[in-house]
Amino acid sequence: MLFRRSLGGLGPKKTATSALANGLVSWWPMREASGFTREDFVGTNDLGNSFGAITQVTGHVEAFASGFDGGEHHGLFCDDNPTLAFHQPWSLLCWIKLGAYPPTTMGWFGKQFTEFRAHALGNNIAPGVVQCSFAGQDVYWGTIPDPTQWAMTVTFYDPAGDCGGSLNGGVRSVQAVNPATGIIPDGSNTFWIGQNQTSGGPATAHMGPCALWNRILTDSETAHLWNGGAGRALGAI
pLDDT at 173: 79
pLDDT at 159: 73
Closest CA to 152 of 233, 87, 74: 233
The b-or-e profile of 141-163 (16+ CB within 10 A means b, else e) is bbebeebeebbbbbbbbbbeebb
Tens digits of residue pLDDT in 35-63: 778 888 998 888 876 566 678 899 999 99
pLDDT at 7: 43
Tens digits of residue pLDDT in 169-193: 988 877 766 655 555 555 556 777 8
Q: Please count the other Cβ atoms lying within 10 Å of the Cβ belonging to residue 34.
A: 8
Q: Domains, the chain, ranges and CATH?
A: 18-218 (2.60.120.200)
Kindly give the parts of the chain with pLDDT less than 50: 1-15, 103, 120-124
pLDDT at 127: 62
pLDDT at 120: 46
pLDDT at 71: 67
pLDDT at 124: 47
Q: Are strands 76-78 and 90-97 parallel, antiparallel or unpaired?
A: unpaired
**Cα–Cα distance, 192 to 167 (Å, whole number):** 21
pTM: 0.83
